[in-house]
Amino acid sequence: MPTPTRRAWATIDCNALRHNLARVRTLCPAAAIYAVIKSNAYGHGMAQVAQAITSSATPVAGFAVATLEEALTLRTQVHDLPILLLNGFVDADEAALCLQQGIEPVVHSAYQVSLLAGCLPQSKKQGRQRIWIKFNSGMNRLGMSRTECLRAITSLAQHPHIEPIFMSHLAYADDMDNPASKSFTAKQLQLFQDTHLKAQQIFADTHPNSRDTHSKNSRDTHLNGVSQDSQTNEGGQETAGNLQSLQDTHANESLEDESLQDTHAKKSLHEGSLQDTHANEGGHDTEAGVSSHQGQLSQDMANAVRAAGNRLKRSLAASAGILTLPSTHLDLVRPGVMLYGSSPLARQMGPACDLQAVMTLSSRLIAINDVGAGESIGYNATYTCTSDSRIGVVSIGYGDGYPRSAENATPVLVRTASGIHRCPLIGRVSMDMITIDLSAVPAAQIDDEVVLWGDELPADEVARHANTIAYELFCKVTSRVNFHYENMEI
């Protein structure tokens, strides 16, 4: 019986995963991390990735998935951490199930607020229930308008056992050197901050908790593994770091250069950042902190926030924001692709961001043929040899998830006795095979390993040759590929 690993296999390095998680922590020392492991952890294996992350020295505050099915499956493996449900629920039964299972749904549409009404917890037996309120700051995919968000906050803030989180998603933060990306993102940030400011006011005015209750709840929440009290957050540092990050050069540049010329918007952002300061100090008597900024923060607002002792936390950044926009880190970050070692950025690949590839996809040479100049290779004769060539056949194809769109010259690595060689893909990708030009590697032999992407060949680079992104490459690796997990235990 041949061992199935000999055809096509993926090696998942859990040490690399933990390195990337630690990188998130370094970049956002003060934010809570919700590790995004939807779509089978971007094709890496949700159960194994969750296990490796849970055993990491970098604690996460929770996990995020897209569908209720994913959340319920994960709940059977992860018992004591929150699970954020990014796509939310569609009916009352799903809403109730979320709350029973300690799943934190995203409320992205007004209809969901009424669905929730019937199942909100009447006691805080299980600690506070987080509900994520999603604001459409410009992506126009999921998210409510400003008015709908404010209504949702008004409704939820009346429940003492609910902790709303104000969230949005950046649509175009992957290319901040591009003026279009920069100004689009600046507008999103402005809208987010403005709307949060108003939502904060409503929340502080409406929420029944007193400051004392809040302090106690924070402790409860901490015990529940959702350590996000603003002054002693998961990062172990004061969230004054957020204020710092709002003053970050890049952010200032993008915010001030572009659409934020208008004073009102700047003021709002400034107030938004000041709220961090107040909020950070929410559990203390921080007269000094408040008075130093009193001129800029409205007295009413300061009083409301201080009196209520409640702060509406914010979440905006996924990998792109985490890597390039400290001003978006705020209270909770949602890293996805960077955990797997790939970069979401248009101009930088994973290694340039100090990320390590978690998945190495490999296969083997199963045939080597001499093909004469002028002969073509594979379906539709998309490649013609310009000289006599040595062509390798590798036993992986689109049936395994290798992209059919990969063009001629997409690199692969051939591991021979003499070392690792970069060779070009030639001809069309078929279901079970690809063909590569081995002419420059006379040492290559049948059975040599061929790496399609991994440590020494970023998936980001392969994705560019296939007119896609590494996210898609990872997610599309099929069950025909054998998965091996390395360094599961530390």
Residues binding ligand PLP (CB under 6 A): 36, 86, 169, 318-320, 334-338, 344
Shortest distance, CB of residue 35 to ligand PLP, whole angstroms? 10
Picking from 443, 441, 457, 446, the residue whose alpha carbon sits closest to that of residue 393 is 446
Q: Would you state the torsion angle of the CA atoms of residues 162, 36, 29, 485, taken in this order, to the nearest 10 degrees?
A: 130
Shortest distance, CB of residue 393 to ligand PLP, whole angstroms? 34
Shortest distance, CB of residue 460 to ligand PLP, whole angstroms? 12
Nearer to ligand PLP, 36 or 438 (CB): 36
Tokens 């429940």 sit on residue: 159
Q: What angle do CA 72, 73, 76 make, to 5 degrees?
A: 90
Q: How far is CA 141 from CA 87, 116, 166, 168, 191, in A?
A: 11, 21, 16, 11, 16
Asked about 476 being catalytic, the answer comes back as: no
Q: How far is CA 4 from CA 10, 265, 454, in A?
A: 12, 60, 20
Asked about 38 being catalytic, the answer comes back as: yes
Shortest distance, CB of residue 337 to ligand PLP, whole angstroms? 4
Query: Is the Cβ–Cβ distance between 407 and 432 less than 8 Å?
Result: no
For 168-181, b/e burial (b = at least 16 CB within 10 A) is bbbbbbbbbeeeeb
Nearer to ligand PLP, 451 or 470 (CB): 470
Shortest distance, CB of residue 196 to ligand PLP, whole angstroms? 16
The strand pair at 62-65 and 8-13 is best described as unpaired
Shortest distance, CB of residue 84 to ligand PLP, whole angstroms? 9
Nearer to ligand PLP, 337 or 451 (CB): 337
Nearer to ligand PLP, 220 or 461 (CB): 461
Nearer to ligand PLP, 312 or 322 (CB): 322
Tokens 């979440």 sit on residue: 315
Nearer to ligand PLP, 255 or 318 (CB): 318
Longest dimension (CA), the chain: 82
Nearer to ligand PLP, 169 or 207 (CB): 169
Q: What angle do CA 176, 467, 174 make, to 5 degrees?
A: 15
Q: Which residues contact 35 (CB under 8 A, 6 or more apart)?
A: 21, 49, 53, 60, 62, 63, 64, 335, 339
Shortest distance, CB of residue 388 to ligand PLP, whole angstroms? 45
The one catalytic residue among 124, 266, 379, 471:
379
Q: Which residues contact 143 (CB under 8 A, 6 or more apart)?
A: 108, 134, 135, 136, 137, 168, 169
The one catalytic residue among 34, 38, 134, 402:
38
Q: Which residues contact 184 (CB under 8 A, 6 or more apart)?
A: 138, 171, 172
The whole-angstrom separation of Cα 140 and Cα 134 is 11
Give the residue closest to ligand PLP by C-beta: 336
Report the catalytic residues: 38, 379
